[in-house]
Amino acid sequence: MKKSFLILIILTVMSLSLVSAQDEAVVATPGETVNMILLPKFLGIAVFDQAHQGAEEAHAELQNAGTLEFLGPTQENSAAGQVEIVTTAASRDDVDAIMISNNAGDQLGPALEAAKAADQTVVTWDSPIPSGDSEDLFVAQVDFDQTGKVMADMALSILGEDGGKFAVLSASPDAANQNAWIASLQETLEDEAYASLELLDIVYGDDVTETSYDQALALVDKYPDMELIMAPTTVGIAAAAKAMQDEGLCETVKVSGLGLPAEMLDFTLNGCAPEFALWSFVDLGYVTYYATYLLATGAIEAEEGVSFEAGRMGVYTIEKDPTREVGLRIVMGPFSVYNIDNVEAAANPGGAEMTPEATEEG
Amino acid sequence: MPPSFKWDSLKRWETLLAVVLAVVVIFNISQSSVFLRVDNLVNLFMLHIEKIIVVLIMTLIIINGEIDLSVASVMGLGACVVANLYERGVSMEAAILVGLGVGALCGIINGFWVAYVRLPSLAVTLAGLIAYHGIAEMLVEDRSIGNFPDWFNQLGQKALIGPLPLSLVIFFILFIIFAAVLHFSAFGRYVFVIGNNREAARYSGVRVRQVKMMLYIMSGVIASLAGILFAARLGAVRASTAEGFELDIITVVLLGGVSIFGGKGTLAGVGLSIMLVLCLRNGMNLLSITGNTQSTVIGVLLIFSVLIPNLTQDFQGFWNRRRMIAK
């Protein structure tokens, strides 16, 4: 009787420890040496600089004795340039991990396979490898399936309950994240709740300001009854809003999508882009860095169900990516929706703390 | 100017290129243990292989006293034709043949206006640049076409003979063929003679028009082939594929000591210039210098490559005059 009771206790403790071992989030050991490359789609736009800033913050926090290089191609040469940088990195002995926002579709496959063959950790962020091969993990900024709903909701809120016609101004047709979001938007639109919204066209501005600007105006010419341009790219939304403002069209054609508060402030205040959404790219760079550091040091494996702690951002659990056939992801989240009420505070985060409410609470 | 002077200045240019190349190579070796590894040397060629294949035919065209600004558009058009046909269910093999045929057709159009109507090649091929790119845009629009058969992607990406992928093998074979044709055949002599003086060549019985036509057809076919290889390497095609490559291609030819006015240049010089640009880019990549900095370094190098020969000539002219006055 006593014996069996003891066995029961032992079994209980063992099973408890098993459960807790599974749930326990792995915490990174600072001070290890991991040479990392942060590779954005291209250099020269604010959001990628912010991601770099977040990665630098994590780099300092983890006291990584290795290097963090921020390398990227020029805008005109994004796909071929990314292939070039990854190919070269794969043949270098002093690179342990590559963190990439893919702008080359599956074209990066062979180069990333070479990197994996050289024992380098490959983590995608912002935009994954569509096929899911040749990457260890994708750090999704938000749930990609959610993005379509957020955009459709903003469209309804801007156009009103009776809806209207709108077009999508995307970045480049090779950007996996853009394509996933547009697909998710199209799926959302099939829902009856959004039956009043009609998607006219999808055009691409290549994340180049001038091209996006021209594409926005071309849409206006092509579809006189269009009431909204939805641009799920920070470059596209700002360019489209500028185009509508310059042409005095803000009353008839509104702009929405994914934008940076600092870049969208004026357009939101003057009504050209009354509502838009985004997440923090600083946080995205930060979380990506933690995940990559943990994978590269062998502290965690890229497997479903593995949990880890990413510094100030808290605990994440690796899961199967439901938006792709193959691939693992973590979802950072959440979306912030900006409008005339909160855009100023978001655009000047330093100034926000000076508001009366904040002082009262403090 | 006596012909011996030209020969000497050419010799000096290639020597200069070789010296600069040696400096870059030694620097790369000293900075990176990876540089001399076979996989890196293959990468060094492969990352710009499509451009340097077109550089070979561009060398002949510029020596001939003409230019082909449409090569990059033909590259893009070749790739887009293949992608479009494949997407419509045509077999990849047939699509590639049609793509090469379209390249030849572009060459015939360019050649007709340049050789037979005698319009300036700068204007004709500039029009080609715009028109062929426009057709590519119509075929592929704003999309990206991929999902090609595995054998096609592997052809562009995987090693075929030893460590060498197909496009690298094609480059080496074409280099040998073009060197032989340009420097050791009657056709090559005609190319030079016409480039030096078209009228004189015509009066001495050289079939100027046929030679020019041949060159443009070759340019069209080779550019289209390079575009298709590019599609195989990247595994996807967009209308903007290869956009802007023409300037990179022409600058490598000029850096190789080929005179933009025609009649002067060697494939050896162009070979050295290819190696110089590739080693410089690879070295900068290995040192994590990318993007605009890389373009700036290459740009400065090219400015010097145009300045130095001209300055030395001016200086020599000045010096000769001084000597004559002194006498």
Q: Look at residue B32 in the predicted model and tell me its pLDDT.
A: 87
Both structure tokens of A109: 């496959």
Smallest CA–CA distance from A206 into chain B, residue:
B142
The number of residues in chain A equals 362
Helix residue ranges per DSSP H, chain B: 3-31, 38-46, 49-63, 71-87, 92-111, 121-140, 150-157, 166-184, 186-196, 198-203, 208-234, 245-255, 267-286, 291-326
8 Å CB contact of B234 and A88: no
Residue B5 has pLDDT above 80, yes or no: no
Of the listed ranges A72-86, B65-79, B258-272, the one predicted with least confidence:
A72-86
Closest chain B residue to the Cα of A111, Cα to Cα: B157
Residues of B in contact with A72 (CB under 8 A): 290-291
Q: Looking at the domain assignment, is residue B201 inside a domain?
A: yes
Distance CA B158, CA A114 (A): 11
CATH of A144-278, one of 3.40.50.720, 1.20.120.920, 3.40.50.2300, 3.40.50.300: 3.40.50.2300
Which residues make Cβ contacts (< 8 Å) with residue A269, sequence separation at least 6?
Answer: A340, A343, A344
3-class DSSP state for residue A304?
coil
Question: CB-based contacts of A245: which residues, under 8 Å, 6+ apart?
Answer: A267, A270, A272
Give just the sign of the alpha carbon dihedral B195, B49, B74, B170.
positive
Candidates A220, A127, A107, A129; CA nearest to A169 is A220
Residue B326 lies in a domain: no
Alpha-carbon torsion (B194, B196, B199, B201), positive or negative:
negative
Is the predicted pLDDT of residue B282 greater than 80, yes or no? yes
The residue among A43, A218, A107 whose CA lies nearest residue B238 is A107
Q: How many independent structural domains does chain B possess?
A: 1
Whole-prediction pTM: 0.79
Give the distance from residue A203's alpha carbon to the nearest chain B alpha carbon, in angstroms.
7
HSE (side-chain half, CA atoms, 13 Å) at B40? 23
For A131, A184, B87, the CA distances from B147, given in Å and listed in that order, are 11, 22, 9
Spell out the domain ranges in chain A: 36-141+281-332, 144-278
b/e map A10-42, b = 16+ CB within 10 Å = eeeeeeeeeeeeeeeeeebeeebebbbbbbbbb
Q: Chain A to chain B, count of Cβ pairs less than 8 Å apart? A: 77
Per-residue model confidence as pLDDT tens digits over A195-247: 999 999 999 999 999 999 999 999 999 999 999 999 999 999 999 999 999 99
Distance CA A219, CA A217 (A): 5
* Closest residue on chain B to A93 (Cα): B34
Is A93 an interface residue toward B (CB < 8 Å)? yes
Q: Across the interface, which of B34, B142, B238 has its CB nearest the CB of A91?
A: B34
Least confident of A312-326, B102-116, B177-191: A312-326
Give the model's pLDDT for residue A349.
59
The CATH number assigned to the domain holding B291 equals 1.10.3470
Q: Report the candidate in A99, A66, A103 with the shortest Cα–Cα distance to residue A83.
A: A103
Residue B325 in any domain: the answer is no
pLDDT band per the 50, 70, 90 thresholds, residue A12 = low
B324 located within any domain: no
pLDDT in the model for residue B106? 98
Mean pLDDT of B288-294: 81
Residue B289 placed within a domain: yes
Taking residue B300's Cβ as centre, other Cβ atoms within 10 Å add up to: 10
- Domain with B142, as residue range(s), is 3-318
* CB contact burial A232-259 (16+ within 10 A = b; e otherwise): bbbbbbbbbbbbbbeeebbeebbbbbbb
Least confident of A153-162, B42-51, B149-158, B260-269: B149-158
Average pLDDT over residues A123-138: 91
Distance of alpha carbon A278 from alpha carbon A231, whole angstroms:
12
Q: What is the pLDDT of residue A362?
A: 28
Q: How far apart are CA B298 and CA B251, in angstroms?
A: 10
Kindly give the interhelix angle for B186-196 and B166-184, rounded to the nearest 10 degrees.
70
**Chain A residues with CB-CB distance to B243 below 8 A:** 76
> Do the domains at A36-141+281-332 and A144-278 have one common CATH topology?
yes
A205/A210 Cα distance (integer angstroms): 8
User: Please, is B141 exposed, middle or buried when counting C-beta atoms within 10 Å of its C-beta (0-12, 13-18, 19+)?
Assistant: middle
Between chains, do B146 and A93 touch, taking CB under 8 Å as contact?
Answer: no
The CA-CA-CA angle for residues A167, A169, A173, to 5°, reads 120
Q: What is the CATH number of domain A36-141+281-332?
A: 3.40.50.2300
Asked if A48 has any chain B CB less than 8 Å from its own CB, the reply is no
Please say whether the beta carbons of A55 and A69 come within 8 A.
no
> Which range (A329-333, A340-344, B235-239, B307-311) has the least confidence?
B307-311
| CA–CA min distance A119, chain B (Å) | 16
Q: Which residue has the higher pLDDT, B3 or B312?
A: B312
| Nearest chain A residue (CA) to B36 | A91
Does B68 map to a domain? Answer: yes
Answer whether A259's CB lies under 8 Å from A150's CB: no
Choose among A41, A46, A51: nearest CA to A263. A46
Nearest CA of chain B to the CA of A157: how many Å? 29
Place of tokens 């045929």: B101
The answer to whether residues A340 and A162 touch, using CB atoms and an 8 Å cutoff, is no
